[in-house]
A and B are shown apart, each in its own frame.
Chain A
């Protein structure tokens, strides 16, 4: 009857979202008066999960790298073994890939982009974002088994003074026709999905040659870089950096928009960020209505100053 949670890892280390969904699973389990079982793939030491409320870990060793079909089926077998009524996944690209497959496998209703612990676990109701963060939506899941996808950076990490027992789990792995040929991933850069801070540039920066200061600011802050839709459409920056309604959603702690006017589609995509700073020459730019802090000024003067001040701040607080 435990709550099952898929805790993602990379090269044997848990991703931040794994600890967040573990924390979320613990909250659900407490509401339901049950325990948390985590499923991991190829993790040699999963004891860290105990600090986030996991009671038991099922580790599936020696599996291939991520494959949505194979992983979804293995998770289904784990859910059945544990007789889990609630399965928690994250909002990572991989989790969003496998969750619908898992839901069909378990004949479970699935609610994605959930931002809070369930409102109720009797008539199982969750609060999720909809209309690309322009609204919230309370969704009731009517099936016996439920799959819940938790929005990144919404619930946060909640430490617990527990410990997790770890056992090996050997599902019968199914075959898949889909095979990875190549992966192109910048290992030295923070991804938008994982970032606590995102620094984003718009057309106000006038050209791709001016992105040096955006990257420098991001580096000082340990932030990911992003851009507005026109910038990606113009080819100044890669698509993977485009944030907004048709790009990537952002739910960082701090979002700094530089030279971005704040079209409704852009604001929708970044609204879930907790604190927003806008730097723009135009005091009438719509972003000022959506931001927490604003500087009306020329990015080419403000950003270099901000970099200097942040460096001083870092030096003092190191």
Chain B
């Protein structure tokens, strides 16, 4: 089984978010970048397929050279080779078109992408990729088994979960649940050394226009001070929630 894991290069979850150039660009100054957490759950599940079912794993990112350390980390975790499509990731549709070319040329059986990146939260790349390559698609995937060309996937639905049968080629919008948090792997020294020697191929992009553009960013207004209620006066809390906040 040939697996492709799509990797977004995103600010670490603890990052303070700031903007620059008149609030039109994300300020990367002092920001640590990581593998998008939703993608990391997918990569870790792919490692299971590699180790138990002999799958091969390529990882791919659409982005500039600054994303290569993130791809190297994925190689250190255990992916076999990496691809970087050399163009800025503008909107999700454009990224999906770049990935569609990689998927079609690579003949992958299974493509795992995170259900969304934690920066732009577009939540569209895996689904668009499935539509562009005419593959089956399961979103919000929290469980995946593959047997030959058949797959069983569990997806989170509002208020529960749903298990579906489907077949390869398959594209997954993955998230936590594909593996547990405790299954995530921290690259060891051997993995990091080996990653340096693994191939990282840079591909030139296909012609794909962005269908949306992020024109401006804004931070939420600063929050007013918390109103403290004494633990001996819970009546007051109920009254505030009813009369002031009007939420009960």
A-to-B contact residues, CB < 8 Å: 68-69, 72, 92-94, 96-101, 103-105, 108-113, 125, 129-143, 149, 176-186, 189-194, 196-197, 221, 229, 233, 239-240, 242, 245-247, 253-254, 264-265, 268, 271, 274-275, 277-278, 288-298, 301-302, 305-306, 309-310, 313, 317
Contacts and interface: CB of A to CB of B under 8 A. Distances in A.
Interface in B120-173: 120-128, 130-132, 136-140, 142, 152, 155-167, 173
A184 B155 CA distance: 10
Interface centre among B120, B142, B235 (most CB of A within 10 A): B120
Contacts of A298: 231
A224 B102 CA distance: 42
Nearest to A249: B121
B68 interface: no
A292 B228 CA distance: 9
Contacts, number: 268
B226 interface: yes
A196 B241 CA distance: 13
A179 B160 contact: no
Contact of A305 (B123, B131, B142, B234): B234
A302 B159 contact: no
Q: Is the interface of B mostly helix, strand, loop or mixed?
A: mixed
SS of A interface (majority): mixed
A215 to B, nearest CB: 16
Interface stretch (B45-53, B74-82, B174-182): B174-182
Q: What's the interface size class on B, roughly?
A: 35 or more
A283 to B, nearest CB: 8
Given A92-B158, A186-B160, A293-B226, A131 B121 contact: yes
A313 B137 contact: no
Given A177-B166, A180-B163, A290-B223, A108 B211 contact: yes
A291 B241 CA distance: 13
B218 A142 contact: no
21 contacts: A98-B127, A99-B124, A99-B127, A100-B128, A103-B93, A104-B93, A110-B92, A110-B124, A134-B220, A135-B220, A136-B220, A137-B218, A181-B165, A185-B160, A192-B158, A239-B176, A245-B13, A246-B38, A254-B241, A264-B13, A271-B220
B219 interface: yes
Nearest to A182: B163
Contacts of B136: 69, 176-178
A140 B245 contact: no
A264 B234 CA distance: 27
B238 interface: yes
A246 B165 CA distance: 26
B137 A178 contact: yes
Contacts of A182: 162-163
B17 interface: yes
Contacts of A141: 211-212
B214 interface: yes
